Structures are given as structure tokens and as C-alpha cells.
Structure 1
Amino acid sequence: MTRLSCFITGTDTEIGKTTVSCAIIRALVKKGLQVAAMKPVAAGAFESDGALHNEDVDALTKASNMSLPLSLTTPYLLKTPIAPHLSAELDQVVIDNHHIVSCYRAIRDQADAVIVEGVGGFCVPFTDCTDSAELAVQLALPVILVVGMKLGCINHALLTAEAVRSRGLKLAGWVANTIDPRMPFCDENIHTLEARLNAPKLGTLPYLESFADADTFLDLHRLTDWSL
């Protein structure tokens, strides 16, 4: 296992996994490492210049300092922006976790660090019998949880942390991401999570219009099971 690999998950979809993934990638690139980005499953593709693109995948690729084929970094780029098992069915493909793991290993052998961003929440289905949580187990990577700060986030975060740990995975850290700048008692919610998640908080991201300087709000030295 590459010693700096990790799996990024979140309390929900659209809560900033890509923002945090790009921030971690940029922070590691600044340390002089060769950093690969992987989003194994991405739902919501558009065609540009004769190729399929996805906003999250493009952002991760831009943040990385490695040039790798899309077939490795995103083996399942699905067209319709809905739950991946439904999008895969529309595209008439079957998401195979074993193939994703093989792609990850091929990337790992070339990189100093691999940042793997999940899709949706931690337990989102891939097929009738597989899901994102199973993929995380098969990759056997430490998990970083992105908590989208909004009403209900405490319950979502605690349940996700429980799901991660119940599968024998290490919750290596978490990030509070301010997705609702008008959220009441945001600081109090963060303090509650600090007391209950039993994992280091790697930073609090303010409401950001772009990924550009998100890495300045993170403290990766607080990660557990991660040597910098």
C-alpha cells in the first residue's frame, strides 16, 4: 500500500468531497510528491472535444501532478447524474469493484500518494449486491470523512463514522465543510462533532467559491495512520 493513500467519503452527495480531495492533493504536491487522483465511479458526464468529461474528475485531474489515462483513474464514467447503480444500468454497464481495485493498484505502483474519492455517501449502491462501502474495504485504505455543515450533519456524520469503523476501517480524520454559510450554530455543531467523532479534525473550510486555496485550511499533520 502506498503510505499516503486514502479514501475520501462524505456524509452525503454535494457536500464537498471533491473540494477536500483537491485540497489534499495540492497540499501533497506542494511537498514535492507525485500525487495521483482517482474517482473510480462518477455519474454525470458531458461530451467536450469528442471525449466524455465530468466536473469532479476534471477538477481532480487538474489538481494532480500526474498524467494518467481516464480508464485507470475513472474506470466507470457514467452519463446520467443519478445514483450510480441506476446510471450504470442506463449505460448498460456493471460496476465491478475488483476491476476498480486493479486500477487502483496500477496507479499506486506509479505514485507517491493516491487520493481516492468516493461517490455520493459511504454506502451508496453500485449493483444489487455491491456498494461503495465494500469498495472501501477492498481498497483497505484509511478513510477521511467530509462533513457538509448543514442541519442534520451531526447524525449523518456519526452514522457514517459508525459505518466506516464497523467494517474494520480506520477513520483517519474528518473535515468540516461550510456548504451553508447561513447555517445557525455552525460552530456549536462542529464542537459537538469534535467531541463525538473520536478522530482528528483536519480543518474547517469556510464557504468557498473555488477549490483554489482550500488546502490552506487543512492540517494534514493531524492525520492518524499517515506519515508525512
Structure 2
Amino acid sequence: MKKARRTFGGLVAVNDVDMQIQRGSIHAIIGPNGAGKTTFFNGITGIIPVVSGSILFEGTEIQQTATHTICRLGIARTFQNIRLFPYLSVLDNVKIGTHSLYSGFVLAALLRSPKYRREEREITEFCMSLLEKIGLADKADLYARNLPYGDQRKLEIVRALASKPKMLLLDEPAAGMNNTETAGLERFIRSLKDEAYTIAIIEHDMKLVMSIADVISVLDHGEKIAEGTAGEIQNNQRVIEAYLGKQGAA
């Protein structure tokens, strides 16, 4: 991302931000509420495009690319507010995430052609393997709305993984989780890194961020005010002031 900017009327939500996320890393984006973190993700995924600057993914500019095309290129995300299909099963929610991987011709589905049946088996097996990995396989037939809040968060991550992304954007994945659930989430995110996923994470749980992030970028009022390792960020005076105010940091 180079000189990315997003405004809403007179409000500058993202202000000429430069950021590079290294392949295979866990890169955290933190900052106070209203700092522009989710708007940053929205710009990457094309939900709310930037008004100027450029966003490159594997050498290709994507700042004016349609959201579904960005997904096919290999970027998937979760949302700050859970956006599951509550009256579909856990398994069907994950299957929806595979929509960019298969042809899905309506006629083939109506006729239940051999190709359609083969793809359906492949999709089911793949999605069940993802649910197994995160510990939700035994809940595959439940309505998504009947899952505990922490499991709904996990399901959102699995649905994003179902598109087989190269880069995964997680927007506050630990929100509402207890300590045990957060510890499980940390192990899962580490396992994704071991599988060579590139992960960008927005998170307010500083213990989690400091534990897993290779690099941390800090936004405040739409501007990047710091970037570095956990140790560097913890001792950065501008970051301390952004969270506590100048008087609190003194």
C-alpha cells in the first residue's frame, strides 16, 4: 500500500498510509477506536475503495478492482461484526466460502451431472477438513445462530479460509472470546502461519498481538504513527500517547 487515502466528506479516515505486509508473516494493525483500521481493510478488499494512492498484491494494482475479483486473486477477510448466515448450517456457511473456486453452473446443479456431484463431494470433504482443524466438525449440522459467540468467530475464519486465500485479513477475531478461546485462536493463527498463509490482523487484545505479530503497525486518526516489533512498539512514545494521551503518558 502506497500513499493510500480514504475520505468521507471532510473526514480523513486513512491519510496517505504506506504499509508493506511481508509474505508469510503475521502483521498486526492496532490503534485506538476510530483510528482507521477497518477502513484500511475495506480499502484492501475493495469494499470501500481508496480515493488515491495504490494497493499492490503480488505486483498487481488492485485499488480499483471489484471485491469478488480480489477474492479470486487470493485475499479473504473476516469482519468486525459477525456476518454469518444464521439459518444455514455451520457446514453450509463454510461451503459458501468456496464459491470462487468452482464453476457452479445452474444447469449442472439442476441435472446433478457427474461433474457437479464430484465437485460437491470435494467441497464437502474440504470444508469438513477445515472445520476439523478449528474444532467445529462435530457442530457441522447446527444452525450457525446456535453456536456460542466464540465459535461463531471461528466459523467466520473458516469461511474465509474456504476460498483458499494467500492472504487472510482478520478484523478483531478475538473480540468476545474468553481466555481459553483466545489461547486456542492464537494456536490456530500460528498454525496458519506454519502453512505459509500471510496474515494481517486488527486486534485490541494487546497480549495476543504482542505474542503473535512479527510486525505491528499503529494507526491514529488515519495516519501510521509507528511500525516495528512488539518490543519497539511497546516503548514507542507516540504509541503510548495515542492510547493514553500526553498527560497519561507523562
Indicate the structure (1 or 2) with the bigger Cα radius of gyration.
Answer: 2
TM-score, with structure 2 as normaliser = 0.34
Structure having the higher helix fraction is 2
TM-score, with structure 1 as normaliser = 0.36
